[in-house]
């Protein structure tokens, strides 16, 4: 015990002489200090500091720390209401109606491990982790509110998880804005750049790099459950970001409601990043004695560019965000019925599909939309989670029995948070829709959203899903969500609390997901939101994998998966081999290409195998067998992004085992090169330079050093839509 406490003291050090808190990561430092007026200020977040550097920094800082103009200072969590008009981390309304706050340090505590925010998902600490938490307690000058700031350091991964809790001590107040983390960066030698992940439905997470010029840039989600247009992640670099060099800082929210990551560049060149719940259409009333927990935000620092940052985040997300028995297991190769059969199937079609899938090597049959109510198209029956006996006369139980008898696992599609106006559920409970009486509310895909803030709605859904899980012995659920949150209103809450609904919706959804996860830990849940519209660290706490996009075109998927890989590990990304021509793009790419793009993530199949040529069937079966050989490596290895598809005519990436004993390299070249040009070699990364690697596909052996110097010439064959997968095994 003493030893453990000593470790805590080692990773977070408080120096009473200089009033500094040093959070010491293996390769990073986060250094906070208390100003003479007890305002927490940030002295440094970046490369690791020595003890002498800390003292030196503290001495230099002390000469400026008392500047009466707060706007000049690097404040660690600025509240609104003084001479700092940069966008604040906290904006409160007090019982007297004023919005002026001035929080100052009261006390602190440093403990091993961490706590999680109330009602929200939180990251894990595993036995053996040296994670420790600093809690700073601040109090407002009028003593009506107390603010707790939490900083959990995972030193091995150079990850810092931050969150904030505000407590109303006197009277009734109101939160207008509360961030999870706020960081003031100093003026840098080169202007700051941001990397964000904008997009749209079927083209999620397109990488956007932009110089941050003077002013405020908001990366945000306002749609409540559909964030195709932006993922809750932002990275910052000094000058244009590089893949393999230079310092990078990043922010990723553990939150699936309306979110905000804003970057404000001050006229001086200083940069403030705030990350938390979006203040758009948000206001939260706090009565005396009540607390409000902001979600967690994961902060990562790496000095080796975007690649190093992503590898740290991947380790963290797959080990400390994802949880449950499936976190540490190879995921089954699934065959999903959607693109192959859509709504038109009968019991025997699904059994035949499963048998074909089994022969190819699939391990799980997923019956997608259309199995319940009277759902022959997408205009009806959401909410009626009872099998359609016209299609499934033996019920879900009978279908499950037949699928299991083939030696496959069995899963079903649900969209629990939505309801069709044309459904038994909505006719019985019209008040369960998330819109106020007197307002019709828009539909999207002819559906409304259920009021997940109501306990009775959640209890009903828990009962329905539990019944089907147990009745059918489900092994898997695809949890979809296809409508943005518009026109929010709920009779369950008084007038003064209507602007709390977008947050209450996600709190309710999390509560239901958590209850199901805890009751049925063996059921593998895959998230989906019209493709990858809600693919974030909050969802990954309940669903260890997510359907990355409705776009299954192999070339588009390279871009979508590349963007996601900035913060999402490959094992969390659902990637399916689908039929041609592609249903969205009309493009016909060869099986080889479709397979290798899916093999570099969590592979599945989404087509009707009976429509395939014999050659495609053989190629698909071979691809599945090869995938099973590498899936553990894909799940646990380190990703190296080698050639950027957003920048060049070719793209390449590799996954290298942690012990460098093997690697797999993927190359995609959309268009054939011009005749006469020599093939371009590929420079690998992350290998052991001194080791020899055998490349059986090419019958060659090279040293890691030679491979990293660029001696590999992948065999891409001739023609457009070329691709290759190359395996390297250390000799």
| Between 12 and 366, CB nearer to ligand GLA | 366
- The residue ranges that bind ligand GLA (CB under 6 A) are 338, 368-369, 378, 413, 480, 482, 528, 530-531, 547, 550
Handedness of CA 438, 444, 447, 451 (dihedral sign): negative
Q: Which is nearer to ligand GLA, 547 or 567 (CB)?
A: 547
Q: Is the Cβ–Cβ distance between 190 and 545 less than 8 Å?
A: no
Nearer Cβ to ligand GLA, position 262 or 553? 553
d(CA 75, CA 85) in angstroms, rounded, equals 12
Query: CA angle, 25 as apex, 237 and 160 as ends, to 5°?
Result: 65
Determine which one of 39, 384, 550, 616 is catalytic: 550
The residue among 35 and 447 lying less far from ligand GLA, judged by its C-beta, is: 447
Q: How far is the CB of 337 from ligand GLA (least distance, A)?
A: 9
Q: Is 550 a catalytic residue?
A: yes
Check: CB of residue 103 under 8 Å from CB of residue 81: no
Question: 368, 480, 536, 556: which is the annotated catalytic residue?
Answer: 480
Q: How far is the CB of 547 from ligand GLA (least distance, A)?
A: 6
The answer to whether 471 is a known catalytic residue is: no
Beta carbon of residue 445, minimum distance to ligand GLA (angstroms, whole number): 8
Two tokens, residue 519: 């009751």
Backbone angles phi, psi at 628, to 5 degrees: -65, -25
Question: Rounded distance, CA 88 to CA 274, Å?
Answer: 8
Rounded distance between C-alpha atoms, residue 371 and residue 357, angstroms? 19
224: its two tokens: 């409540």
Strands 476-479 and 409-414: parallel
* Beta bridge pairs of residue 335: 365, 605
Q: Which contiguous run of DSSP H or E holds residue 238?
A: strand 233-238
- Complex with ligand GLA: residue 105 or 343, whichever CB lies closer: 343
Between 67 and 377, CB nearer to ligand GLA = 377
Number of neighbouring beta carbons within 10 Å of residue 499: 17
Q: Least distance from C-beta 376 to ligand GLA, angstroms? A: 12
Q: What span, in angstroms and rounded, lies between the C-alpha atoms of 295 and 704?
A: 43
> C-beta of 67: minimal distance to ligand GLA in Å?
52
Provide, rounded to whole angstroms, the least separation between the CB of residue 548 and ligand GLA.
10
Distance in angstroms (rounded) separating the CA atoms of residues 253 and 87? 18
CB of residue 342 vs ligand GLA: minimum separation in angstroms? 8
Do the Cβ atoms of 220 and 210 come closer than 8 Å? no
Give the other-Cβ count within 10 Å of 143's Cβ: 10
Looking up tokens 């008084």, which residue turns up?
494
Query: 18 or 331: whose CB is closer to ligand GLA?
Result: 331
Residue placing its CB nearer to ligand GLA in the complex, 244 or 349: 349
Vertex 554 angle, CA 716 and 698, to 5°: 25
Provide, rounded to whole angstroms, the least separation between the CB of residue 338 and ligand GLA: 5
Q: Is the dihedral of CA 349, 350, 351, 357 positive or negative?
A: positive
The strand pair at 692-695 and 700-703 is best described as antiparallel
Residue 235 forms beta bridges with which residues?
195, 250
CA distances from 477 to 30, 325, 344, 528 (A): 41, 15, 20, 10
Q: Point out the residue whose Cβ comes nearest to ligand GLA.
A: 369
> Residue 73's closest CA among 105, 32, 31, 41?
41
Q: How far is the CB of 365 from ligand GLA (least distance, A)?
A: 14
Which CB sits closer to ligand GLA, 81 or 604? 604
Tell me the catalytic residues.
Answer: 480, 550
């Amino acid at each position: 015990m003493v030893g453990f406490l000593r470790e805590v003291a080692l990773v977070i050090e408080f120096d009473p002489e200089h009033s500094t808190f040093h959070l010491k990561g293996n390769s990073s430092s986060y250094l906070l200090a208390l100003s003479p007026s007890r305002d927490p200020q940030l002295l440094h977040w970046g490369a690791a500091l020595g003890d002498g550097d800390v003292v030196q920094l503290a001495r230099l800082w002390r000469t400026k720390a008392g500047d009466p103009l707060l706007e000049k200072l690097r404040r660690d969590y600025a509240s609104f209401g003084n001479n700092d008009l940069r966008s604040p981390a906290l904006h409160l309304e007090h019982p007297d109606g004023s919005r002026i706050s001035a929080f100052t340090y009261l006390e602190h505590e440093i403990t091993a491990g961490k706590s999680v925010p109330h009602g929200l998902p939180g990251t894990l600490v595993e036995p053996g982790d040296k994670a420790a938490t600093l809690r700073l307690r601040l109090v407002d000058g009028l003593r009506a509110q107390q603010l707790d700031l939490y900083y959990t350091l995972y030193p091995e991964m150079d990850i810092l998880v931050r969150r904030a809790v505000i407590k109303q001590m006197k009277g009734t107040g109101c939160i207008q804005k509360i961030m999870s983390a706020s960081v003031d960066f100093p003026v840098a030698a080169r202007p700051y750049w941001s990397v964000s992940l904008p997009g749209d439905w079927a083209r999620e997470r397109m990488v956007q790099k932009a110089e941050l010029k003077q002013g405020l840039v908001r990366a945000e989600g306002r749609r409540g459950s559909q964030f195709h247009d932006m993922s809750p992640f932002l990275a910052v670099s000094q000058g244009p970001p590089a893949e393999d060099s230079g310092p990078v800082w990043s922010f990723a929210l553990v939150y699936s409601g309306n979110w905000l990551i804003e970057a404000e560049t001050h006229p001086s060149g200083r940069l403030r990043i705030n990350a938390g719940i979006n203040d758009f259409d948000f206001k939260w009333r706090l009565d005396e004695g009540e607390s409000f927990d902001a979600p967690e935000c994961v902060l990562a620092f790496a000095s080796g560019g975007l690649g190093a940052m992503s590898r740290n985040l991947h380790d963290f997300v797959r080990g400390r965000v994802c949880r449950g028995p499936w976190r540490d297991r190879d995921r089954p190769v699934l065959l999903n019925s959607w693109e192959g059969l859509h709504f038109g199937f009968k019991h025997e079609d699904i059994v035949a599909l499963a048998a074909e899938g089994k022969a190819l090597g699939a391990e799980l049959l997923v019956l997608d939309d259309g199995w319940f109510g009277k759902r022959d198209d997408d205009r009806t029956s959401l909410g009626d989670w009872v099998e359609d006996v016209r299609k499934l006369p033996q019920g879900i139980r009978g279908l499950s029995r037949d699928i299991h008898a083939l030696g496959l696992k069995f899963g079903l599609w649900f969209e629990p948070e939505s309801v069709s106006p044309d459904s038994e559920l909505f006719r019985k409970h019209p008040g369960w829709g998330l819109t106020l009486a007197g307002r019709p509310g828009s539909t999207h895909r002819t559906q409304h959203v259920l009021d997940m803030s109501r306990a009775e709605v959640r209890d009903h859904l828990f009962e329905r899903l539990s019944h089907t899980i147990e009745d059918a012995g489900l092994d898997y659920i695809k949890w979809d969500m296809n409508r943005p949150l518009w026109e929010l209103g709920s009779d369950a809450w008084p007038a003064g609390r209507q602007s709390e609904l977008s947050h209450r919706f996600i709190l309710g959804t999390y509560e239901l997901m958590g209850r199901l996860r805890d009751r049925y830990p063996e059921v593998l849940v895959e998230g989906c939101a019209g493709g990858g519209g809600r693919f974030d660290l909050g969802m990954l706490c309940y669903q260890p994998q997510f359907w990355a996009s409705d776009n299954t075109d192999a070339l588009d998927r390279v871009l979508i998966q590349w963007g996601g890989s900035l913060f999402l590990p490959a094992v969390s990304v659902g990637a399916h081999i689908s039929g041609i021509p592609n249903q969205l793009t009309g493009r016909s790419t060869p099986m080889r290409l479709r397979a290798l793009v899916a093999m570099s993530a969590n592979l599945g199949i989404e087509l009707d195998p009976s429509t395939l040529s014999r050659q495609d069937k053989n190629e698909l079966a071979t691809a599945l067998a090869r995938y099973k050989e590498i899936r553990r490596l894909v799940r646990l290895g380190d990703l190296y992004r080698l050639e950027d598809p957003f920048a060049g005519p070719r793209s390449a990436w590799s996954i290298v085992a942690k012990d460098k004993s093997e690697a797999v390299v993927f190359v995609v070249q959309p268009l054939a090169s011009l005749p006469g040009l020599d093939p371009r070699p590929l420079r690998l990364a992350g290998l052991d330079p001194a080791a020899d690697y055998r490349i059986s596909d090419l019958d060659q052996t090279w040293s890691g050093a030679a491979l990293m110097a660029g001696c590999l010439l992948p065999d891409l064959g001739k023609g457009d839509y070329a691709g290759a997968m190359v395996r390297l095994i250390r000799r």
